[in-house]
Structure 1
Amino acid sequence: MIRILIVEDMTMLREALTTILSDEKDMQVVGALEHAGDALEFCRENRPDLILMDVLTDDNLVNGGSHRELAQEENSRTQINGISATQEILAEFPDTKIVIITAFPEITFIEAAKKAGAHSFVYKNVKNDLLLQIIRGTMAGYGTFPTHIPTLATLSPKFTDREMRILRLLAQARDRSFIEQELSISEGTLKAVITGILNKTGYDSIMQYVVYAVANGLISPHG
């Protein structure tokens, strides 16, 4: 059984990851934290086998800045919070495996993760099957790092007006019944549109994509 700690500041994604991993017979989510700064103490008390560690968590936001603004500041401590936590944890618990996760196509994160001792690195738009494969491979001693850096252009496909309206409503946490009534469409039509969005983005879960898109400014809930 792989005992996993998730460190992710976005509630929707944290819960989605917890659900995905908990459904696997060989995995157990032993904790889900919002802030990377809390991870070391959690490890001291619970000793997880593997950590999914977000590069940037909510405690990184200083002076009212956004993730996007702070990620552009080369010398900001915000830029390496999850990576700094990785380094601290591995110094005390060298047998713990750490997989860095991020939504930002920032090349410096990969090298920083390697220097900190992270065992693997993955982007948040990865499909569920590949994420599970990376977790199992990392536990078996096989590290995985991206061979190319995605761009916002490749991660932001062109959506129809209807698709954008549905994405914005989902970003507002509206349920499917509300969306059907708001847009005067049937349940079958809504399912078909969502399937089309998933096909365009390569995601397995519509809510995972919504979380990613909002976090990266690709979708505005009130746009």
Structure 2
Amino acid sequence: MVRIMIVEDQTMVRDALKNSLDGVGDFRVIAAIADAALAELYCERTSPDLVLMDVCTENDSSGLDAAAAIKKRFPRVRVVMMTGLPEVTFVERAREAGADSFVYKDLGVDGLARVIRDTCAGKSVYPGRREEALNFGELTRREREVLVLICDGLSRREIAERLNITINSVKTHFSNILSKTGYESVAKLAIFAVSNGFINTKI
């Protein structure tokens, strides 16, 4: 029996996940909470085998931060991150946080059950590239950081200061980003990326 804790701030989604997973013979939902900031405490209290956690939760708590804390304190607990947003940095940030797997919310119950079983079996399940339209998958980690700061409205000088790099390095990153995404200007790229949800500067 796989003991599952759900962390999801939307009540309808949380209840639907609980009912669906409880209906699977080898799963048991032992806790369902809305705030990722409480996830570590609930892990201590309930000892789940796996945490299914949204990236963005109640009170603006980060599921990614919670995942990192859980994996550090309870390394045997599996963590599956989930999101309904196309934000391109989430997948890589989930890896960096130590999350075992990552799913999008458009996945059906059967697919989710497979991911949970595979994750409990020691496999790391991550989605294919959803950013192919802009070739976001070709960007390096530093280029992604620069792109987020561009979308946040920072100037070249401000980006250089924030990342502790030279202006020339920023210019090189700009050039590489435009070359890989096919855009003529960073302004147009930033507008498209933010308006279509590929970059979320508030998270």
Residue 138 of structure 1 aligns with an amino acid whose one-letter code is: T
Q: Which residue of 2 aligns with 1:49?
A: 49
Alignment of 1:49-68 (within 5 A): 49-60=49-60
Q: CA deviation at 1:135?
A: 0.4
Aligned equivalent of 1:139 = 120
- Structure 2 counterparts to residues 119-158 of structure 1, below 5 A: 119-149=100-130
Q: Following TM superposition, by how much is the alpha carbon of 1:148 offset from its aligned partner in structure 2, in angstroms?
A: 1.8
| SS of alignment partner, residue 45 of structure 1 | helix
Which residue number corresponds to residue 179 of structure 2? none
User: Cα offset for 1:46?
Assistant: 1.0
**C-alpha contact (below 8 Å) 1:98/1:120 kept by paired residues:** yes
**Which residue of structure 1 aligns with residue 63 of structure 2?**
82
Aligned to 1:7: 7
Q: How far 1:24 sits from its partner (Å)?
A: 1.0
Report if aligned partners of 1:52, 1:100 keep a CA contact under 8 Å in 2. Answer: yes
The aligned residue for residue 205 of structure 1 is none
1:92 pairs with 2:73: yes
- Native 8 Å contact 2:88 2:131 kept in 1: no
What does residue 20 of structure 1 align with? Answer: 20
Amino acid at match of 2:46: N
How far is the alpha carbon of 1:143 from its aligned partner? Answer: 1.1
Counterpart-to-counterpart distance in 2, 1:136 and 1:35? 25
Whether contact under 8 Å (2:55, 2:64) holds in the other structure is yes
Question: Counterparts of 2:110 and 2:70 in 1: how far apart (Å)?
Answer: 27
Percent identical pairs in the alignment equals 43
1:2–1:28 contact (8 Å) kept in structure 2:
yes
Q: 1:115: which partner in 2?
A: 96
Deviations 1:77-101 (A, max 9, x none): x6xx100000001111000000000
CA contact 1:106–1:149 (8 Å) conserved in 2: no
CA distance in 1 between partners of 2:72 and 2:111 (Å): 28
User: What TM-score results when the alignment is normalised by the length of structure 2?
Assistant: 0.64
1:128-176 superposed Cα distances (whole Å, 9 cap, x missing partner):
111000000000011111112179xxxxxxxxxxxxxxxxxxxxxxxxx
Calculate the TM-score normalised by the size of structure 1.
0.58
Q: Which runs of 4+ in 1 moved over 6 A?
A: none
Q: Which has the higher contact order (CA 8 A, sep 6+)?
A: 1
